[in-house]
Structure 1
Amino acid sequence: MTSKPIDRRVARTRAMLQQAHISLILTKGYEATTVDDICSAANVGRSTFYAHYAGKDDLRRSGLDHLRKALLDRQKAALAQPENGRDRRLGFSLAMFEHARDHIDLYKALIGGRGGEIALGTIRKILADLVRNELAATTDKTAPDTVPREFAVRYVVGALMAVMTWWLDGGAKLPPDRVDAMFRQLAINGIVGLNDGSSSQTA
């Protein structure tokens, strides 16, 4: 069953609410921003707002849907490439670093408050789903797991989030592709045995 396309007026209203929300976060902060503020900035009524979102937390989560789609598309494109070593593994990570760099002010405005908890929690879930899907698609299902699959998921997501936070806190001075290359080098070496279905370990 195909999903029904979103009406243009609905899409336009949601876009205005998202834009107003981001603008207010950057000027007032997430905690100080209210639904009334968002409605006023977007020039829509409260009833219209609640017809689309349950509250500003829901609006924040929904705002990351485009990130989820972009990362998923990047992952699918990478996995569709012919087997050529490790290049196709974690194919979504560069897009994550690029998104963080392009929205560094928003990330900084969110970190530290409830908005940060919601946004980062949503990003962690997006990344966990991507890593979980990738492992399911690339792991040799006939070989025993030397490391529990979910352990590997948490390991990779935790490392990516830690590196991204460190990078943004430092002003994102290194280019995204350089940060991604270093992250992938360490993360892929950490999961390569699991992905290849190899159970060999160094004593």
Structure 2
Amino acid sequence: MSAPTDQGGLRARKKQRTRAALIDAGLDLFLAHGYEATTIDEIAAAVEVSPRTFFRYFASKEDIALAKGAEFDELMLDALAARPAAEPPLDALRHAVLEMLRAAATDSGVQRFLSTQHLITKTPALLAGNLRRAAGTEERLTAEIAKRQRLDPAEDMRPRVLVGAVCSALRIGLEATCADPSRELDRMVELVAQAIGLATAGIPQRWGEDPHRW
């Protein structure tokens, strides 16, 4: 009775390995030759699959470039949802962001993680898609913060403002890390934490009842 389940598990693992291999091959080619110069046929060939197989996993090469960012967004959202319910919203969001960074660096390596972020921000064809992805993630983070605070984000802007400030700080911290010669994990976490501190200075741990002030 266990054979069908085992076969299903094997198929799922094989599909996951193929998907991960396509992402890794695509990023390698993008970073080596540029996004525009890289073709889907080249990505498929690097993994020894057909272009038809490629399209079973991804609709375009843009999806390859943005796939890791989407995975890291899910890590951040899961980390925020797992924070203690009584933890102040800023602390919970800061911990979630820094936990995501550590996981991202462990998965990809700091240098590769930063190089991918740089590729996206410097490639017009990718920037719009990345901004759409980031906007969707901010909406979900806002909803989680609002739920934790028992607020309606349509009537109280504080969750959205907090998330916007922290996400902007994350971007600035990563830009600062790209300019830092060491590009080490601890330094990346330090710079992002510093940027979050600057962006959220003055926001109290506990919010009052008035939605027009912290």
TM-score by length of 1: 0.74
Is 1:45 matched with 2:50? Answer: yes
Contact 1:31 1:114 survives alignment (8 Å): no
For residue 9 of structure 1, what is the aligned residue in structure 2? 14
For residue 68 of structure 2, what is the aligned residue in structure 1? 63
Residue 37 of structure 1 and its aligned partner are, at CA, apart by: 1.0
Equivalent AA in structure 1 for residue 142 of structure 2: R
Q: In 2, Cα distance between the equivalents of 1:145 and 1:122?
A: 23
Residue 140 of structure 1 and its aligned partner are, at CA, apart by: 4.9
Could you list the runs of 5+ residues in structure 1 that have no partner in the other structure?
Answer: none
Equivalent AA in structure 2 for residue 105 of structure 1: S
Give the alignment's Cα RMSD to 1 decimal. 3.5
What SS does the aligned partner of 1:90 have? helix
What SS does the aligned partner of 1:30 have? coil
For residue 138 of structure 1, what is the aligned residue in structure 2? 148
Is 1:124 matched with 2:129? Answer: no
| Cα deviation 1:111-168 (Å, max 9, x = unaligned) | 31135415642562364135303421333539x9674654444333223223322332
Number of residue pairs the alignment of both structures matches = 196
What SS does the aligned partner of 1:196 have? coil
| Structure whose residues are more often helix by fraction | 2
For residue 182 of structure 1, what is the aligned residue in structure 2? 194
State the identity as a percent.
22
Tell me: CA distance 1:139–1:123, structure 2 relative to 1, closer, same or farther (3 Å).
same
Q: Select the residue among 72, 88, 97 that pairs with 1:93.
A: 97
Residue 80 of structure 1 and its aligned partner are, at CA, apart by: 2.2
Residue 46 of structure 1 and its aligned partner are, at CA, apart by: 1.0
Contact 1:36 1:46 survives alignment (8 Å): yes
Could you list the runs of 5+ residues in structure 2 that have no partner in the other structure?
Answer: 1-7
Contact 1:90 1:131 survives alignment (8 Å): no
Contact 2:79 2:99 survives alignment (8 Å): yes
